[in-house]
Amino acid sequence: MVDPAAHSVSAATAKPEAATRRHAPEEPPPAHLYEKQKTVHNQRIDGRFRRFKWAVMILTLAVYYITPWIRWDRGPYAPDQAVLVDLAGRRFYMFGIEIWPHEFYFVAGLLIMAGIGLFLVTSAVGRAWCGYACPQTVWTDLFQHIDRLVDGDRNARIRLDAAPWGPSKIARRALKWTIYLVISFWTGGAWIMYFADAPTLTADFWTGQAAPVAYTTVAILTLTTFVLGGFMREQVCIYMCPWPRIQTAMLDEKSLIVTYKDWRGEPRGSLKKARKEPEKFGDCIDCKQCIAVCPTGIDIREGPQIGCITCALCIDACDRVMADIGKPRGLIDYATLEDCEKEAAGEEPRPVWKALLRPRTIAYTMIWGSIGLAILFALGVRNHTEISASPDRNPPFMLMSDGSIRNAFTLKVRNMESRPRDMQIGLEGLPGAVMWTGEIGRGDAAVTQVIKAQADQTKTIRAYVMAPADTPVTDFRFTVTSLDEQRETDTSETRFSAPGDN
């Protein structure tokens, strides 16, 4: 019988001080810290996690490349691109939602939701984001499939790598890097489509009429995709990206991670040896299939480590091996450290879904959902008509020949509908006062005035307010009402200056 405590990688990970070897100051650092990068030639594998990874890859790439081409009718006064960051017009369009610059809190809310969503995913299923949906993972996976397509599977690629340069190797490398470049260029090209009307920008781009920033952005993104996805791959995850370090701090013994069940697999031995003396060996036949399929080239049997992006391809590989040798699946599996300890002690394994339902994940879900509902509610009740007023400071008032007092203001009237609307602006809380604007002469001065606001526009208006001679310094309001069936209103509090104001 194998002593679980003696081999418990999981237990060592739960108590890192037990597994971390300390080096004396005079001792040189271990050579493997500075080991030269070895190219990872991961092997093709099929299985349920690989199929899930295919589905996520196809979905994320399709969303990224196709979204800018989806049209959304907003009428004649607004762009018809479903998702558009209109920098020139200072708007963010997302299907039926239009975010103005002063509503940036909606974007902040979405970013907070994305952050909490990552916390939620990490606390529930470990580094699932890294394993399935992170752009670095998706593009690396895509490029690894190109490798397989052009150079063959793992062994053929290892042989080709070791072979001297010759016409065949040059031709294959040229073909592979050209495909990398085309994908990288397409990736950079898709990005800029989010910032302008996609069909127009495509035509401008190919006829040399696009803005220089468009060409520069495409060039930078082409280069970064080519280098990061084509050559740096797992190095980005292990050395460059800060997220694995943050995630490690967020994981606890109740988080699902990909784990090698050492109490079941150890001591490992070849199939031949294990068949000869089954009582001496665990289930691992040391076939190294789990290492061969790993996109980061690590050995999960050494325990959870930063290089593991939790893609679960080693689970698929090991499940196949277990099926071939007639052992139960799950020698490598998604499990929590807490469950591993119980399982090692002989208890029944807990269903995976139970690990998802715990106070921390429920709390994250509730916070995430509450922010989402708050954003939806705010979007549902937001006003599409707004007014703001700022008084002239110099001079704050003018005395007219008949003794009445005149103040000047700059009004900003916002029509957030995609159609022109008539708006009535007026005065409240200033008895006897009348107003006129730069467009409406003093001869037509009245308590209210009607202006025309263009679709999707903030109109700036010079407004003059005249009050009787004895009017004191007082606070009052400008009001705006849309003269359509919506009758939306808004007010802006401001101050009327008069002699004696300081």
Site of interaction with ligand SF4 (CB under 6 A): 258, 260, 265, 284-290, 293-296, 298, 300-301, 308-314, 317-318, 321, 331-332
φ/ψ (deg, to 5) at 460: -95, 130
Place of tokens 């991961």: 42
Q: From the CB of residue 260, how many other CB atoms can be counted at a distance below 10 Å?
A: 26
Nearer to ligand SF4, 196 or 309 (CB): 309
Nearest distance from residue 291's CB to ligand SF4, in Å? 7
Identity of the residue, 68 or 265, whose beta carbon is nearer to ligand SF4 in the bound complex: 265
Torsion of CA 206, 211, 215, 218, to 10 degrees: -100
Torsion (CA) 182, 183, 184, 189 in degrees, nearest 10? 90
- Least distance between ligand SF4 and beta carbon 267 (Å): 11
What does residue 479 show for φ and ψ, rounded to 5 degrees?
-120, 155
Strands, E assignment, 432-472: 434-437, 448-453, 457-467
In Å, what is the CA distance from 390 to each residue of 243, 287, 344, 496? 45, 76, 71, 11
Token duo for residue 297: 């080239």
Is 312 or 465 the residue whose CB approaches ligand SF4 more closely? 312
Nearer to ligand SF4, 328 or 431 (CB): 328
What is the nearest approach in angstroms of ligand SF4 to the Cβ of residue 4?
16
Residue 130 beta carbon to ligand SF4: minimum distance, rounded to whole angstroms: 9
Nearer Cβ to ligand SF4 (214/292): 292
What stretches of 126-166 show up as alpha helix (H) in DSSP? Answer: 128, 135-151, 154-162
**Which pair of structure tokens corresponds to residue 35?**
């080991």
Which is closer to ligand SF4, CB of 300 or CB of 405?
A: 300
Please report how close the Cβ of residue 350 comes to ligand SF4 at its closest, in angstroms.
Answer: 20
How do 457-467 and 474-482 pair as beta strands? unpaired
Burial 61-82 (b: 16+ CB within 10 A, else e): beeeeebbeeeeebeeebbebb
Chain center to CA of 323: 38
Q: Is 49 helix (H, G, I), strand (E, B) or coil?
A: helix
Q: Give the E-state strand segments of 136-256 in sequence order.
A: none
CB of 292 to ligand SF4, least distance (A): 8
Indicate the residue among 150 and 290 with the shorter CB distance to ligand SF4. 290
Judged by beta carbon, residue 146 or residue 318, the one nearer ligand SF4 is 318
Are the beta carbons of 268 and 285 closer than 8 angstroms? yes
At residue 332's C-alpha, the angle toward residues 328 and 336, to 5°, is: 110
- Between 47 and 188, CB nearer to ligand SF4: 47
Question: Please, what is the minimum distance in Å from the beta carbon of residue 305 to ligand SF4?
Answer: 8
3-class secondary-structure state, position 414? strand
Cβ at position 298, least distance to ligand SF4 in Å: 5
> At closest approach, how far in Å is the CB of 286 from ligand SF4?
5
Peptide bond into 101 cis (omega under 30): no
CB of 148 to ligand SF4, least distance (A): 16
Nearer to ligand SF4, 193 or 293 (CB): 293
